[in-house]
Amino acid sequence: MLKRLSSKRASGPGEIGAGGWHSADSPRRPRTVDNSKRTPSGEGPTPATSDAEKRSLVLLRFSGDITTKAPPTRRRFLQRMGANIKDALKSLGIDHKTTRTHDRFFVEFPSHQEDSALGALANVFGVQSLALVEKHAWTCLDDIVEIGERIFRDAVRGRTFAVRARRVGDRRAIPFQSEEVQRRLGSALLPGAKGVSLNSPEQVAALEIVPGEAYFFGQNIRGRGGLPLGCEGSAVALVSGGFDSPVAAWLMMKRGVALDYVFCNLGGRAHQLETLEVMKVISDRWSYGTRPHFHAVDFDDVTRDLQEKVTTRYWQVVLKRLMLRTAELIAAERDAAAIVTGDAVGQVSSQTLQNIAVISSATTLPILRPVVGLNKDEIIGQARDIGTHDLSAKVGEYCAMVPSKPATRATRAQIDAEEHDLNRSLLERAVSERTVFDLRTFDLKSLEKPEIQTSEIPRDAIVLDLRSKAAFQGWRYPDALFLDFPNALRVYSQLESGRSYVLYCEFGLKSGHLAELMQR
């Protein structure tokens, strides 16, 4: 019996507001998971129920990207999608049974876990839409009309509606036309409804009829479409925790690319933890069927070498090239075929078209830039949609490497000359000594947050202002001393020990980073 209907899209486990449709009572079947069993066209599983537990049945429709593939490719994609569906439900501890027909999946699970299951299934890439289903036997058209009237009458009461009926399978074994079903069931539902609207109904009464059985569908829940995650191989994504790189990563996952994440740590443990939190959301909510790893590379020595040897206006371009080389080294270890970045043309000085061309020459791997043509507001809107916005909004920009007058049209010859004296072994060592986190199993609570913040300034503390000279001259904390950040990184070990120091900067990343180094 229909309990609730919702047209909302499920955006994550436990987030959807749809209730459920539940099967008629029938003998309970063993709880098994079967992702390989196939049934003839138009057939699906019968939900098992008992007095102790009711079972829900959901229909998953494939995206058009899958249905248009050649048969061998389609089989491979659907095998991958079936494994991803299994992983999505298993990760939430949901007992389930999955059955595949030629053009859809049927998934059965306990009704009390319906909301969580629907949320997870809607986030499996390759799923175009899903709907809860009731399955009933019929012997004549009157049976279908009677059952459909009982199921849909509450949903259409006081609303405009349309009946959508479809015959599936051996139509010769169905002694009536779809139009006849629509006309008869529509007439039965009309007395309690506001009226019929074939073009824009407030409620759709949808059903499919196979020989001897009929499926009655709840409201469609929109999936994300795309390709099953992992079917297009793997890549590494450079991430910083801001809005752009998580969205870029998600868009490539939607196209079937499994990802590892490379984080070149410029801002210390606090910055690393913030970025880990963002990518943990991507992993837990969207990475079903894969095991993404987060590679944290300490860039302290690399950036110090850069600042000492590279002309200031070229810092950003050279830094981005070093990050690409880092990603390339890790990609080789992980057998990844490409690098993903969150670059958008013209968004910052290093992302002018000329600079992007020079930066790209640092690696021979393909560089995928899925947000390259998006406006910032479009990227932020996408971040809200995938669940990373609020965490990304808290991640500060590491401004210590942003010069006041950066180069916007660097040439390859200029950058080759700037990089000539860099110590390349520092980058190789940083990669070899990186920290790797398995995002699907890693518990963020196991990481201790650095205790570097203070709510008050001790009387005898020395206050250091790490902002720009112009900002310091415009306003400063009383008796604060100016110390530009590059110089601070060189001299902090020479500061008087036994004294208390309070540091501040524009966003907290530079001061937090230096405080960590001083605490060591």
**C-alpha to C-alpha distance for 189 and 195, rounded to whole angstroms:** 9
DSSP output for 277-302:
HHHHHHHHHH-TT---EEEEEE-HHH
Strands 203-210 and 213-217: antiparallel
What is the rounded distance in angstroms from the CA atom of residue 383 to the CA atom of residue 241? 11
Evaluate whether 452 touches 516 at the Cβ level (below 8 Å). yes
- What are the backbone angles phi and psi of residue 448, rounded to the nearest 5°? -80, 130
List strands edge to edge, sheet with 501-504. 481-482, 462-465, 501-504
Quick check: helix, strand or coil at residue 310?
A: coil
Residue numbers annotated as active site: 505
**Separation CA 217–CA 130 (nearest Å):** 9
Instruction: Enumerate long-range contacts of 135-140, CB under 8 Å, 24 or more apart.
Output: 135/23, 135/44, 135/46, 135/47, 135/57, 135/213, 135/214, 135/215, 135/216, 136/24, 136/213, 136/214, 136/216, 137/212, 137/213, 137/214, 138/209, 138/212, 138/213, 138/214, 139/212
Does residue 11 contact residue 122 with C-beta atoms inside 8 Å? yes
Amino acid occupying residue 205:
A
Edge-to-edge order in the sheet of strand 293-298: 367-368, 339-340, 234-238, 258-265, 293-298, 435-438
Provide the β-strand partners of residue 296. Answer: 263, 435
- Which residue type occupies 27? P
Structural Rg of the chain based on CA atoms: 29
E-strand ranges in 117-269 read 127-137, 160-167, 195-196, 203-210, 213-217, 221-222, 234-238, 258-265
For residue 175, give the DSSP letter: -
Q: Is 121 helix (H, G, I), strand (E, B) or coil?
A: helix
| 8 A C-beta contact, residue 168 and residue 212 | no
The helix or strand, by DSSP H or E, that contains position 108, with its residue range, turns out to be strand 104-110
Cα–Cα distances in angstroms (integers) from residue 181 to residues 148, 151, 176, 209, 253, in the given order? 10, 15, 8, 10, 41
Q: Which pairing describes strands 97-100 and 104-110: parallel, antiparallel, or unpaired?
A: antiparallel
CA distances from 313 to 85, 316, 403, 410 (A): 49, 8, 6, 9
Q: Which amino acid is at 359?
A: I
